[in-house]
Amino acid sequence: MAVFKKWVDELLPGVPPKSALGKALSYTAGQWSKLTRFLEHPEAAVDNNYLENQIRPFAIGRRSWLFAETQQGARASANLYSLVPCAQVNGLEPYTYLLHLLEELPKASTTEALETLLPWNAKPVLKAPRTAA
């Protein structure tokens, strides 16, 4: 990083500031403290690939939502797109969680009952061994 910074600092004065390279070098120099933050904090990721992979379904879904026919249909699709990763983040298998929601949601009539259906609250129920009924 030190070699790169030296290169940017040496090159910057000789490049026209409105050129593409000049804009890139100016941006790099101006954002240097943010670009090197990961060096001061080893626990921080060097890139944001993980987060970008997490939001990819939303970007793909946006294209599908154009054909949802109604705003309500698009909203329903968006809700599903948020429920699946939320289940995954909480260590739940999405299909099992969605099935649990579809079975239990009609029975929920209070705020407390709805809150028990949130992934972090449903986790103990879904992780517990099922008994034959």
pLDDT tens column, 1-48: 999 999 999 999 999 999 999 999 999 999 999 999 888 888 888 888
| pLDDT of res. 64 | 67
More reliable by pLDDT, 125 or 115: 115
Distance (Å, rounded) from C-alpha 36 to C-alpha 46? 9
0.75 surpassed by pTM: no
What is the rounded (10 degree) CA torsion for 81, 56, 94, 127?
A: -120
Residue 62 lies in a domain: yes
Considering the domain boundaries, does residue 114 fall inside one?
yes
Number of folded domains that form the chain:
2
Asked, for residue 9, whether it belongs to a domain, the answer is yes
Q: Tell me, yes or no, whether 31 and 64 share the same domain.
A: no
57 and 89 fall within a common domain:
yes
Quick one: pLDDT at residue 50? 83
Q: How far is CA 92 from CA 3, 5, 33, 120, in A?
A: 45, 44, 38, 9
Average pLDDT, the chain: 86
| pLDDT exceeds cutoff 60 at 133 | no
Same domain, 91 and 110: yes
Question: Is residue 31 domain-shared with residue 93, that is, in the same domain?
Answer: no
